[in-house]
Structures are given as structure tokens and as C-alpha cells.
Structure 1
Amino acid sequence: MMKNSKYILLALMSLGFIACESDDDAGTTAEVELTAGEADFSNYVSLGNSLTAGFTDGALFIAGQEASFPNIMAEQFAKVGGGSFTQPLMSDNSGIILAAGTLVGGPRLIFNGTAPVPLPGAMGSTDVAFNNPTGPFNNMGIPGAKSFHLIAPGYGNIAGLSAMPPTANPYYVRMTGSTPDARVIDLAVGQSPSFFSLWIGNNDVLGYALSGGDGTDPITDQATFELAYNATIGALVGTGAKGVVANIPDVTAIPHFTTVPHNPVPLDAATATQLNGAYAVYNGGLQQAFAALAGTGLFTQEELDRRTISFEAGSSNAVVIIDEDLTDLGAINPAFAALPQIRQATADDLLVLPASRFIGTEAVPGNPLTVNGVALPLEDKWVLTPEEQEAIATATAGFNSTISSAASTNGLAFVDANTLLNEIATNGFSFGNFTFTSDLVTGGAFSLDGVHPTSRGYSLIAAEALKAIDVAYGSNFEEAGAIPNPGDYPVFYSPALQ
């Protein structure tokens, strides 16, 4: 009846892996002596989550780590007094991470010519129970970390991986060594950094978004975020270090939420008629409820229209979704308890990227009346409704206010990652010889997971951070041409990368 390949037109991906490139060289800058200004880069320490670690294509692996934005910055810092920059490198490029032989992450994604898929036959050798590297580490980016994890004891204790729910993070377990209960901030401050970068808070809203706002991963409350962020900043500046911070992008603008259309369902006339017949009882029940509640204001014509399900022959039928923000008619009148809170999606709804592999599958093989997203409504985890998007926007604004205030109060360099992502998503963003967009696979900015930047995207983050440092501390990375060339960094990695 329908094919999943129609949900995302991945045929467009055959246009290539790279963002648009001009014919000109990267350009030259007149010889200008590089200066650090008021900053001291001799001991640079970075803190954050997967965006700091160099996570890309759905995993952490050596090549991605080497192209992390802190490592790219450290290469420029080295030209003006910066010291060595040590990272907790994975053991290979599979992206797999294990805990006593049990898979806890990876493998990395590759592009097979049609769609992003897990690296076939991947065999990982990074096991947090057996072969962790020796610190201290300048890059303390921890995939999955939220703001409060940076000040939480035990977050790197391997025993916490078996707790329910887990209280530890396998990527941080690799960093703690002989001090498994040490807090992230303690290990960072213990290195007496002269300069730091902090980019944290994305996961405080992203976890909620990735789960479709289904309640399994709630948004961090503002008070907790503010306490954790200010405690982290206070500890870092308390060492006398200067630094650069970045705010939180609008996560709903990333390809993970903008690739799958709300109306990807192709139907022939016979199937559309069959489905409309199946929903006739439901639609009739809505009409009865509306008549019974007329004049009460509890069930409006607008909501009746919104909830009425209708299909037609064509390629652009909207999926059916569960929406818990619709009126619970059964709670008003038990006679309507059988009417579920469902409706067809609109352009205002955001479907998560994994929905592309789920929509159109049959719960009962061979039975078209059990098709997910059509006969069977999509669960909350597959969709971000406008109300859930508003919750994300409100939290992001609050978190970014805290970050901006901390940067201003402490005289720190500031990267407006939120505005940068919006520009990429809305108009495209030119950097070097490339124009970055938020299109999955072809846009150049986002990797195959639709969430994390490509290595070339991380070079853009590094460049923006260096420019912000120039503004705050009087350095001249941009003027002296000490800005990374995005052409030196790949968009995606070969399946053959070992």
C-alpha cells in the first residue's frame, strides 16, 4: 500500500555528501602577528556534553574526537602559547562502547547511498570495564551529560551503570580513573585551567524532545539548571581562568525534527475508502459528543474539525497521532469514554526522524488495517506537538537567560549558538567556501544522526568561538587568519574507516 522510502525523499541524498562549494580558494589574509590579548591558553580545559566531545554520526569515535571543536580550537591556541590538549580517545573508529562486553552505545552511522544505517559488521574494542585511558583530560565533553551532571558525585562510577535507573555515564567512567566518584567540575578545576570552554544544557531539553515529550525524559527545571550552571561557572572562574561559553540552540530546528513530513502517507482510492470506513464510528462518536456538549464550551467546533479523521487517494495524507492535549471527552461524560484523544498531524507538528522507519509498517503483517500512523495512531514518543514545542521553547529561553547572564557577569566570551543554528536552518550560513544548511545528509552542518554536527560543522563552531574570544579578550585569531578552514574537515566518514 505504501513504501517507507516515500516518507523522506532520500533520493535527494545522491546529490552528494558535501555542502555547496565555490570555485574559489579559501582566501588569504595579510600577514598579521597573532596575539592572545588578555587570554592565557597555556592550559585549556573544555567541559560539556556530546557537542564538546566530538560526537557525530550517532557515535563517539577517534576521527570524530580529533575534529571536536575544542581540539580544533586547541590547534589554534597552540600558535599563541597554548599547551597540549589531551582527549579520552576511543579505542577505534567503530563508535561502539561496551561495559563488560555489553553494548551501551554505537555503532556509528554511515550513508549507504539511500539512507543512514549502522556501520555493518562493526566490532568495537572500547570497553569501560577493561581499557580506559589515563587522564587528566583537557576535553571533558561527556555525551549524554546534563547541566547538573557536571556537579554530581558518582557520575563516573562504573557501579552506577547497573543501577535502575543508571546513575553513571559510561563515557565519564572512562575519565575518572582512580577517583570514580569525582565530579566533572572537580576534575576540571583540579587541572588549574588558564582557559576553559563550557557548552552545556542542550541535553536538558533535548532528551525531552527526542522522546517526543512523552514524559520519560523530562525537561530540567529552571531552578536546577540555574544552580548547576552557576556553580560550574563559579568553580571555573574561581581558579582565575578566562573562558568562552555557548548558549543552547533551538533543538526543534535540527534535522531530527524537520526531515519527516507530517503527511507522508500515499493511498490509493480503495484503501482510503477502507480506512474512512474504519474511522466512521469514531467520527460519528465525535459528532454525538459535540451535539451533547453544545453550548458548554467544553468541546468546540474547532476541536471537532481538528479531531475528525479523513483520508483520500493521493500521496500526501497526514498521519494519525495521539495528542494528550486534546479534550478528554470521557472525563466530561463517561458515555464518550471510548473516544480516544487522536487527530491527524498538521504542519505544526514535528515527527522525530526514527518515525520514518516506523510509519507504514504493519503491526499485523499483511493487514492494512494495522498500519502504524494510519490505522493505528502514532504514540506520543513519535511526535512533538505545538504544546510540547512551546515547553521546549520556554525552557530554552530560561536556560539561555542564565547562560547570558553568567557570561556577562563574569566577563566571558559568548557564542550565540541559538542564533547561529536558526540562521543555518532559515537562510543557510556561509563559512569559508561552503554554505551550510540544516538539510539532512546534503546540508553539511548536521551529521547522519540529524542531531549532532558533522566534523565540518564543528569547525564552524570552533571558528565562531575563536571570533567571540577575539571580542572578549582582544586576541586576533580572525584578523591573523588563525581560523579553521572548513574544507580540512569531512562531512561524513567512510565505512572503511577503521
Structure 2
Amino acid sequence: MKNIKYVLLSAILIGFTACSDDDSNDVVIVPVPELTTGELDLTTYVAVGASFTAGYSDNALFKAAQEKSFPNILSQQFAQGGGGAFTQPLMNDNYGGLAVGGNRIFGPRLVFGGKTPVPIESLIGPITVSTDIAMNNPTGPFNNLGVPGAKSFHLLAPGYGNLANFPAAANPYFVRMTGTTPNASVLELAMAQNPTFFTLSDVGGNDVLGYAVSGGESDISADNYNPITPPAVFGGSFTALVDGLTANGAKGVVTNVPYITSLPHFTTVPHKPLNPTNPDFGPQIPLLNSIFGALNQIYEAVQQPNRKVVFSETAASAVVIRDETLADISLQIEGALNNSPTFPAFIAQFGLPAQAAPLVANLLGTAYGQTRQATSGDLLVLPSSSIIGTVNTGSVAALMSMGLSQQLAGQFSIEGITFPLADKWVVLPSEQDEIKAATDAYNATIQSVADAKGLALVDFKGILQKAATQGVSDGNFIFTTALVQGGLMGLDGIHLTSRGYAALANKFLEAMDAKYGSNFIEAGVKADVGAYPTNYSHTFQ
């Protein structure tokens, strides 16, 4: 079977334009009040957080996006109210990516390829990653201490920015910030600047995000194992961060944690992407249903009808996934097939002799002992869109080593069809429940600490929920979480666009006005979101 290609996104980038009506010769001038900062002292602003704070976008950190990070946008508004200089650890270019000693560790940014997000190198060719944490780190101190990938407890960890601890216990983005104090923690670097105002944002996001993007991987031996931070650990870390940042009386704004599984990284790929009109898939459906028909009888016999696999010849079908929450019935499948008098004749249609029946029974049992078709309750991560329908070469090699021909091994190795999608591609309902429970616990802590310390709070969770359901407005723009078209979310489906970060900056100003008696919004001292892009072309350097 050939690789099956699915077009999951066909949106054309839409530029937002503002329009105005001028139907009258009468001009009404509404007076704008002077800016007042209320209780705030904005002399020294320090931003602490993770990737959102850094300005991470389109699956990379790059200079232009950093310059449009929400803390930098805020600092520009603060300058009109006594705010001082704001420095950031800028990357060396607008490609993004990181290297250490000339060896790439993270790749450049994504761009829109006309149908889907694609790596920029797929359009312009190889890029030399010029930002190297062993060779050309900038000089601090930095007001923006946003560290992509940092979890709550990482922000307190000594040595988290020490190159000698990389990769086991150091973050390469933070290595760029520590300078002559490599063992200083993020909090220590923030406190050393004696901030008069701070933002503490997106803390807690990475504490659940790693688990989610790994498909809820729970195997500690897996390369992508990234467990959820226990709420007690998060609570202690968040409390310590706020205690440190407020020790000198500084005021600030914190954010809560959104339900990250509502982001387009988890909602864009449909659970039914298999189209019968696809010439590489449709003609194979009768044979596929014949193969799974034999298994479906076994599922019925063991009272597991929810595991049955049927591909429609008239409508889109769901992919086949591995579900680790299901009981493993590999041995039952193998035994039932071996005991079936018709099984040798069944495998003969694949050109296999009768004596191969035990081998094939074992292979089918192993492959489908914990599988089912996906449902609307399952979330397929965005990278799965480039995997579904392709041949799993590892499976082919394994099957060939057992005696199957390359052609037959390939037929039984089609991702999401004859080769169930692995756990890393799917966030199961039970895993979503774990993520939600942790998020709710984190947010309870954040609310409690904010109330106790008298801090402003941006309801980031509510903002993204509204964006996902009805849209969030800012001026002439309505933002949604739709990938590519919505204006809010970058091409990785997790982080914001530059325009999205501008809208978020305005939400911070709203929260400050409500809590501290400033009037940034009323005075018109806010970001003009239309001045910020939703995407960066592959030609942008």
C-alpha cells in the first residue's frame, strides 16, 4: 500500500483589515484622559515565566518574535508611565533554532507551506543555526527571564542555566542568560534586579504540556516520558516564586493555566481522517475489512465489541490506535486464530503457506491486543497529521525479520490503519482527565496565592476557552484558536502569534488597571494589535 496523504488544513492565510465608516461631516472628539499608573512603580520591570514570556512562536524562539513578546510590548507601554529599560536575551537571527558547539539541538521555525505548517528548511533549504549556547551568549542582566520549556520547579533550581549540566539538568535557553553566575536560579536572577513590578506568567503550562504532547506517555523508560508535576510540588514552587518576587514590596500580575488540550495542537487533526475517495486507501478497504473481520469476531466473543474495526466505503473512517487502558488480549487473539480451522485458508490470500499460520496469529495478537478505532473523545496531536497513512519502517524491518516479504510487511505497517498509532500520537480521555485535574489544582493555588498577596490575575484559561468557542475581540479583530486562520495561535498549535502576544499584553494592562488603579486602557496606552503580524514568511530573515 502506498503512503496515504491527507490534507488536514487547506486554509489560506487571511490578513485582517480594519475598516471605518465616515458617513458624517461631524467629527466627535472624545477626550482621552492622561495616563496614571495608580499604585504602580514601573521603574524596574522583570518578567518571569516560560515560553509565552519569552515570545516563543511557530515552534521556535527567534529575534523578531522576541521583540514582540508580550513583556516587551508591556515595557513599551510602561515607558509612558515611568518604566525603565527592558532587556531581552535576543537570538542571533530570525530563523530560530539552537546549537551547542556547532551541533544543532533545536531546529528553525515553522512557516505556512500553502496547506499546512512546514519547516522553513523545506522551502529555502538547509540553514546554519547561528545561536550557539557554547559560543555566543548575550550579556545580561535580562529583564525578560522567560525560559522556554521550564516547569514551575525549574525556575527555582540552581544550575539550571549551567552549561556543564547540559543536557541532563540544564535548559539551553537559560544557559544563555546566566553569564558569570551559571548556578543562579531564574528567581535569583530576577530578585537580583530588585524589581518594582513583575509578571509571573505561563508557570504551570509546561508542568502538564510535556505529558500532553507526548500523548500521555506513562512508561518511565520511554524517551518521551514527561510526567505531570504533582500539584503539591507545583504549589510549593509557585508560592516560593511569588514570595521571592514580592519580598521587596513589588506588585505584579500572575496568570492561571489554560486547559492546554483545547489548543489546536490537540484539536486540529480529526479522529476520522481516512477518506475512501483517496486512491491509496479506498481500493484497499474490502481487504482491510476482511482482515479486521476475523479479529472482530474474536472481540465479540470476548465481549469487547468496542474494539471492532470497520472502515467505511462511503464516509471518512477513524484511525486505529493503541489504547493502553484496555486489557491486553493478545494471547486470546492468538489462541482463537490458531484454533480456527479456516485461518490457514484465510492467510493463503496473502500468499502464505498453512505452516505460517502460528506466526501470523502471533503477529496479529501482538499488534491488536490493545487496540481500537479512535473516537471523538480521543485527541490526536498535530504531528500525527504527517504520520497517518505512512509506512512504519521499523515495523517493516521487524516483520521481514520474522519471514514476511517486504511487500506484505509494508501492508501490515501502515500507520493508523494496519499499524495502530502509538501512544505518543494520541491523548486518551483518561489522560485528558489527568491533565485537567492537575490544571485545576494548579489554578486553585494560583488564585489563592494571588489573593493572599494582593496581585492582579489574568484569566488566561478563560481567555483561551472563549477564543476556542466564540472568539476574543481586541479592537477591530476577533481572535480564535483555529490553526492558521484564527490569528491567535502560532503554527505549532501551542504558542501565540506576535499579534496574539500583543492581545495578551492588553489583557495584562486590563488586569493592572482593575487591581492597581492605573488607566492604561482608558488612556489609550495599549498595544495596537493590528501593527503585529500573525505569521512570518519563509523569506523573512
Give TM-score, length-normalised by structure 1. Answer: 0.92
- The residue correspondences of 1:58-207 to structure 2 (distance < 5 A) are 58-120=59-121, 121-162=126-167, 166-199=168-201, 200-207=203-210
Q: 1:246 pairs with 240, 252, 255, which one?
A: 255
1:28–1:222 CA distance, 2 compared to 1 (3 A): farther
Q: Does structure 1 retain, via aligned residues, the 8 Å contact 2:480–2:488? A: yes
SS of equivalent to 1:6: coil
What residue number does 1:437 align with?
480
Indicate how the Cα distance of structure 1 residues 174 and 357 shifts in structure 2: closer, same or farther if over 3 A, else same.
Answer: same
Name the CA distance, whole Å, in 2 between partners of 1:6 and 1:378.
Answer: 15
Per-residue CA shift, 1:54-108, capped at 9, x if unaligned?
0001101110000000000000000000000000001111102111111112201
> Which amino acid counterpart does residue 443 of structure 1 have in structure 2?
G
Matched, 1:213 2:213: no
SS of 1:130's partner is coil
In the alignment, what sits opposite 1:371? 414
CA contact (8 A) 1:273 1:312 kept: no
Residue in structure 1 matching 2:232, options 214, 223, 226: 223
The Cα of 1:332 is off from its aligned counterpart by 9.9
How far apart, in 1, do the equivalents of 2:170 and 2:437 lie? 28
CA distance in 2 between partners of 1:247 and 1:331 (Å)? 47
Could you tell me how far 1:221 is from its partner in structure 2?
0.3
Matched to 2:324, the amino acid is E
- Which residue of 406, 425, 440 corresponds with 1:382? 425
Q: In the aligned structure 2, how far is the partner of 1:61 from the partner of 1:79?
A: 27
How many matched pairs? 477
Alpha-carbon distance in structure 2 between the residues aligned to 1:242 and 1:102: 42
Q: CA deviation at 1:4?
A: 5.4
CA contact (8 A) 2:153 2:234 kept: yes
Q: Unaligned regions of 5+ residues in structure 1, if any?
A: 291-303
Looking at structure 2, the residues matched to 5 and 378 of structure 1 have their Cα atoms a distance apart, in angstroms, of 16
Kindly report which structure 2 residues correspond to 1:27-38, keeping only aligned pairs within 5 A, or say none.
30-38=31-39
Q: Residues 2 and 265 of structure 1 are in contact (CA less than 8 Å); yes or no, is this contact kept in structure 2?
A: no
- Report matched runs for 1:392-407 at 5 Å: 392-407=435-450
| Cα displacement string for residues 408-448 of structure 1 (whole angstroms, at most 9, x for unaligned residues) | 11000100000000000000111111111111111100011
Structure 2 residue aligned with 1:345: 374
**Alpha-carbon offset, residue 5 of structure 1:** 4.9
Is contact 1:459–1:489 with CA below 8 Å preserved after alignment?
A: yes
Residue 29 and residue 206 in structure 1: after superposition, are their counterparts in 2 closer, same or farther (change >3 A)?
A: farther
Cα 1:269/1:167, change in 2 over 3 Å:
closer
The residue type equivalent to 1:433 in the other structure is N
Contact 2:474-2:503 within 8 A present in 1 as well: yes
Compute the TM-score of the two structures, normalised by the length of structure 2. 0.85
AA at the equivalent of 2:19: D
Deviation at 1:28, TM superposition (A): 8.4
Q: Percent identity?
A: 48
TM-aligned CA deviation for residue 280 of structure 1: 2.8
Partner of 1:495: 538
In the alignment, structure 1 residue 357 sits paired with structure 2 residue 383:
no
Between 1:115-124 and 1:147-156, the stretch displaced more is: 115-124
AA paired with 1:354? P
Q: Which residue of 2 aligns with 1:456?
A: 499
Q: Quick one: structure 1 residues 4 and 203, their matched pair in 2 at CA, closer, same or farther if it must change by over 3 Å? A: farther
Aligned AA (2:480): T
Deviation at 1:329, TM superposition (A): 3.9
Kept after mapping to 2: 8 A contact 1:151/1:228? yes
The answer to whether the 8 Å contact 2:299/2:305 transfers is no
Query: Higher Cα Rg: structure 1 or 2?
Result: 2
- Superposed displacement of residue 24, structure 1: 2.7
Aligned CA distance change for structure 1 residues 331 and 240 (closer, same or farther; 3 Å):
farther
Correspondence for 1:278:
291
Q: Do 1:17 and 1:492's aligned partners in 2 also have CA atoms closer than 8 Å?
A: no
SS in 2 for 1:47: strand
Shift of 1:33: 0.5
Please state if 1:257 is matched with 2:266: yes
Q: Distance in 1 between matches of 2:111 and 2:532?
A: 16
Work out whether residues 4 and 356 of structure 1, in 8 Å CA contact, stay in contact via their aligned partners in 2.
no
Q: Please provide the CA RMSD for this pair.
A: 2.0
